[in-house]
Structure 1
């Protein structure tokens, strides 16, 4: 089968998709704090032909830069329950990095509470498990310290980090995302039953090894932890390795021909 060369494009306010009409599985990706859907654009040619990529675009970034970011988790999750309906058919999984992992997890729980559809697997990247302790909060740091903390984490191009005008627009969105998720406490619901695969950098100060094992308690299904070389943005250094890991673990999918 030939891999289609579709690019990741905007189809709706919350949905960017690289359409593969003959795909058998859909990987829905949730970006990290401050990032937009194009954070996953480089994944499209790396995925096998049977997997279609969708990336979620939240308010306050890229083509939605003029919109206010969400300030509460519950309204964000409920908005996505409805906004993502066009891509929640057939066989699909969630991938989220950092704050995006927390969002993917909360959305999976919300979908289960509504009776589905639910993801067949969760891939949670660089995010401590609910209840993990010892992670320094960043959301309430003074402006200069917050700026330094964000650039120290990585994930921001040097040219952007050096551009005061761009950073002045980016930092409020970053702070809004960190505020949203660092203050959030997940409800003590029953574990999910889908497999959870946790991925993290082996030198990540935001998701150290002891902080991610607790994800095991959030599923009755299979559970794995994989550490990659690198820090918080390990997957930017070697996206192919992460994509291969995910592609090897997506569930068996139905035959081609899905039309959604």
Structure 2
């Protein structure tokens, strides 16, 4: 049985939703990311929904916990902790990069358990059956830092702070291990619609791989490109928020199934 303590460990709600808010938007961070990454999104959408940001173990106030190094294990833990919350109100899932496949796996667990997510927004990652065969998790600490510097998603001052790096490195290595060892069958599908969002210059999520999300739903599928790289959603925050707001308020057009690469 899930306890209130478990829920508060995993789920962060930074802003009270409007009284008549529409369902909830559950957000899953990227590798090395934390719940606070979604603080601005929570503020921007508080008028229409409750934004729930997932806090993985091994970071910020959970830095003394061991971060799972397996996407399936992480999804199991998230689902166990948040199931009562996920069952209580309509749920839209949003994940960025590693968070996209964590959200996908949580959605699979929801559907297997008789719960129906409303929609999955997968950002900054090719379809889940596209394997990530990198070896970042095998590098030394300097090699992992170099990877983060290349993605330009972490404050350069933090990457130069030895105390900060000492605290976050175990979680970073675990996250990259989880990402680079994750495997998903090509026929694993959801019933809910999927919208794939990505930066048009993202080397980690080329468009042809992003299209492969369409293989993983029997619902509608659509894509939306934005200017930018892997962390396009920081620079394009207003546009991304508008896409989510339109979905949450019912003003978005239903996603049409698009053809995918063979």
Q: What's 2:10 paired with? A: 14
Asked whether 1:61 is paired with 2:59, we answer yes
Q: What's 2:176 paired with? A: 178
Structure 1: gaps (5+ residues): 1-9, 254-260
Q: What's 1:150 paired with? A: 148
- The alpha-carbon deviation at position 141 of structure 1 amounts to 2.7
Q: For the residues of structure 1 that align with 2:132 and 2:70, how far apart are their CA atoms?
A: 23
Cα RMSD of the aligned pairs, angstroms, is 2.1
Q: For the residues of structure 1 that align with 2:223 and 2:180, how far apart are their CA atoms?
A: 22
The structure-2 alpha-carbon separation of the partners of 1:231 and 1:135, relative to structure 1 and needing over 3 Å to count, comes to farther
- The alpha-carbon deviation at position 213 of structure 1 amounts to 0.8
Are the counterparts in 1 of residues 131 and 182 from structure 2 also a CA contact under 8 Å? Answer: no
Are the counterparts in 1 of residues 132 and 181 from structure 2 also a CA contact under 8 Å? Answer: no
**1:103-142 counterparts in 2 under 5 A?**
103-116=102-115, 118-132=116-130, 136-142=134-140
Are the counterparts in 2 of residues 24 and 51 from structure 1 also a CA contact under 8 Å? Answer: yes
Normalised to the residue count of structure 1, the TM-score between the two structures is 0.86
Are the counterparts in 2 of residues 121 and 250 from structure 1 also a CA contact under 8 Å? Answer: no
Deviation digits for residues 142-199 of structure 1, max 9, x if unmatched?
A: 3322221111111111221221221222233112101012101124555212110101
Asked whether 1:166 is paired with 2:156, we answer no
Q: What's 2:96 paired with? A: 97
Q: For the residues of structure 1 that align with 2:196 and 2:72, how far apart are their CA atoms?
A: 24
Q: What's 1:78 paired with? A: 76
Are the counterparts in 2 of residues 135 and 206 from structure 1 also a CA contact under 8 Å? Answer: no
Q: For the residues of structure 1 that align with 2:32 and 2:203, how far apart are their CA atoms?
A: 19
Are the counterparts in 2 of residues 25 and 52 from structure 1 also a CA contact under 8 Å? Answer: yes
Is the partner of 2:138 in helix, strand or coil?
A: coil
Are the counterparts in 1 of residues 186 and 216 from structure 2 also a CA contact under 8 Å? Answer: no
Q: What's 1:40 paired with? A: 38
**1:18-29 counterparts in 2 under 5 A?**
18-20=15-17, 21-29=19-27
Is the deviation greater in 216-225 or in 81-90?
Answer: 81-90
Q: What's 1:257 paired with? A: none
- The alpha-carbon deviation at position 13 of structure 1 amounts to 0.4
Deviation digits for residues 195-241 of structure 1, max 9, x if unmatched?
A: 10101111111111121111001011111111111111111112111
Is the partner of 2:248 in helix, strand or coil?
A: coil
Structure 2: gaps (5+ residues): 1-5, 252-262
Provide runs of 4+ in structure 1 moved above 3 Å. 133-137, 187-190, 250-253
Are the counterparts in 2 of residues 121 and 251 from structure 1 also a CA contact under 8 Å? Answer: no
Q: For the residues of structure 1 that align with 2:50 and 2:126, how far apart are their CA atoms?
A: 27
Normalised to the residue count of structure 2, the TM-score between the two structures is 0.86
Which has the bigger relative contact order, CA under 8 A and spacing at least 6?
1
Q: For the residues of structure 1 that align with 2:250 and 2:49, how far apart are their CA atoms?
A: 11
Is the deviation greater in 122-131 or in 138-147?
Answer: 138-147
